[in-house]
Amino acid sequence: MEYKFEQVKIVGGIGADDEFWRGLERGEFCLPTCASCGTWMWPAHFRCGACGAWEMQWNAIEPRGTIFTWTRSWYAFDRVSERTADVPYVSAVVEIPHAGGARVMGIYEGTDEALRIGVDVVGHILPPSEKTKGYPSIVWRPASSGPVA
Amino acid sequence: MMSKLRGAAAVVGIGQTPYYKRGASPHPEIKLALQAIVGACEDAGIDPTDVDGFISYASERNDAQKLMSALGTKEVRFASLAWIHGGGIPGALSIAAMAVATGQANAVVVYRSMAESSTQRLRVMVAQGDTAAQYLVNGLESPAQILALRSQRMIEKHGVPRDTLKAMARATYYHARNNPRAYGRNTVLDDETYDNARLISEPYNLFDCSRENDGACAVLVVSAERARDLPRKPAYILSAPMGTLNGGGALEENIRPYSFAGQVGVATRMWAESGYGPKDVDVAQIYQNMTGMGVGSLIDHGFCTTENAGEFITFDNLIVPGGSLPVNTSGGDLAEGFIHGMGLVAEAVRQIRGDSVNQVPGAKLSLMTGGPGDTMSSTGLLGSEETL
């Protein structure tokens, strides 16, 4: 089945990141740079605030980074109630040094010991599911737990 | 640089409905708004038909065009909404001050009304439906979770002690015990109760998170000149800047700096515009959607640093009597109740008047900070006549 996140598109935020999700649907982790001056631009937007250009270039990069911050949710919040069975679960913000320090969110899967700011993590792309509201997603696992599957 | 608006306008009336349990208001939002506005007029000694300016913030939907016939409004001369969410509150006061200082309006109400039965409170009224997919796909939807990310880094990376969150919660609940209106007045928040509370989103537990209530609150703003002829002691608006520095905004956790309240820019401007600094403040109403963000606010405003936050932010230092900076003297968002933070303005004004249930003796400079961690924010300093 060819599944497209656009069919269940969430309205909210800036909304210039369609190519990020399309990339994940293809199995690629893509982040944008300004097509003119090369500045990393995340979250994606419609104009480069650094040089004024209007075109973005999407770059498939290695999904590697470090844990920037995290929280463990102990409550099944209303709008993410699809994850009720997973409570408590950990969401992380991961900093991508080779993408200008862009910070990308994801679920963390790993030991409590490795759940610390600064720990190296590797992203694994998951197909769309109910838990991810029909979007493809990325989970972050400690780099020490093994190579990318 | 002193602002032209410094002391040009004052709050002269307060109106508050009771705080109802979320979803339990006997009245729809618009009636609550009317009750609060009429209450502020009665408090100020101004006829409701003479109110000619209407200002709110975030996603308030009870706008002037819906209220005017019920108020008998003679003429609406100015109506506006401060963008942002809870970050916009002192900024709304600033808009009111500009309106009266420039003669666009003569008597301006700043108000907020919320009732679960009338609207989708958190999703639409607070979050304004603008939570990005990046959050929702990854199990993050609530301000409690999103701000938990900020506070986790403040604690783990910047070394601000976890106990500062507890101190903020305990001081707030302590003050609520004297406030008959406070929703949390019967809660004795001692160390044990706090430490044993269930976790919500780490590092936050139940007592780190603000309440949710139905209700409305309004304040009436007039020019300084007119304020002197009215019955209530005026609380002058010394400075209430809104905005954010480069690196802030709606950036889906890519804001820089990250871990605090995003209020360095507005705080710096407020001190410059008012001519006062952190050491001069007598009492502070700190918007606390979550305790950790209140800690971030105090750091951003220069009351303490990441290094000495643990020494400054203690229960004893935050309470009346005795603390060097009493905070949230009505019980605040955590323990009095939460009408999107608007109750903090009323309490900041009461401290200037001298009739708070937890009065700081002789308070002259009263701070009220807007929603911390918001995509933009604002902050405001109110003062008595001596501070002008």
The token duo for B73 is 């409004």
Is B237:B221 a contact under the CB 8 Å cutoff?
Answer: yes
pLDDT digits (tens, 9 = 90+) for B52-66: 999 999 989 999 999
Q: Which of A15, A43, A89 comes nearest B254 by C-beta?
A: A43
Q: d(Cα A102, Cα A42) in Å, to the nearest integer?
A: 6
C-beta pairs of B38-43 under 8 Å, 24+ apart in sequence: B38/B71, B39/B13, B39/B14, B39/B15, B39/B218, B40/B13, B40/B14, B40/B15, B40/B109, B40/B111, B40/B218, B40/B219, B40/B220, B41/B13, B41/B15, B41/B109, B41/B220, B42/B13, B42/B15, B43/B13, B43/B14, B43/B15, B43/B220, B43/B232
pLDDT digits (tens, 9 = 90+) for A28-49: 999 999 999 999 999 999 999 9
The token duo for B77 is 């001369």
- Residue B3, pLDDT above cutoff 90: no
What is residue B179's DSSP assignment?
A: -
pLDDT digits (tens, 9 = 90+) for B231-275: 999 999 999 999 999 999 999 999 999 999 999 999 999 999 999
- Give me the residues of A, 88-117, that contact B with CB < 8 A: 88-89, 91, 93, 102-107, 116-117
Our CA-based measurement puts residue B135 at a distance from the nearest CA of chain A, in whole angstroms, of: 7
Average pLDDT score over chain A? 94
| The predicted structure's pLDDT at residue B120 | 60
| The predicted structure's pLDDT at residue B278 | 98
- Give me the residues of B, 145-164, that contact A with CB < 8 A: 145, 148-150, 152-153, 156-157
- Residue A148, pLDDT above cutoff 60: no
Is B76:B54 a contact under the CB 8 Å cutoff?
Answer: yes
| The predicted structure's pLDDT at residue B352 | 98
Average pLDDT for B165-175: 98
Q: Which of A99, A145, A138 is nearest to A119 (CA)?
A: A145
Our CA-based measurement puts residue B204 at a distance from the nearest CA of chain A, in whole angstroms, of: 9
The question of ipTM being above 0.90 is answered as yes
- E strands within chain B? 9-16, 20-21, 53-57, 78-82, 108-114, 199-201, 204-205, 213-223, 235-239, 242-243, 283-286, 365-369, 377-383
| The predicted structure's pLDDT at residue A149 | 45
pLDDT digits (tens, 9 = 90+) for A76-117: 998 999 999 999 999 999 999 999 999 999 999 999 999 999
| The predicted structure's pLDDT at residue B128 | 63
- Could you give the count of Cα atoms lying within 13 Å of A103 in the half-sphere of its Cβ? 19
Is A104:A24 a contact under the CB 8 Å cutoff?
Answer: no
- Could you give the count of Cα atoms lying within 13 Å of B232 in the half-sphere of its Cβ? 27
Cis ω before A88 (30° cut-off from 0): yes
Q: Which of B118, B164, B113, B145 is nearest to B338 (CA)?
A: B113
Average pLDDT score over chain B? 95
The token duo for B256 is 């820089």
Radius of gyration of chain B (CA): 19
pLDDT digits (tens, 9 = 90+) for B7-21: 999 999 999 999 999
Q: d(Cα B132, Cα B140) in Å, to the nearest integer?
A: 10
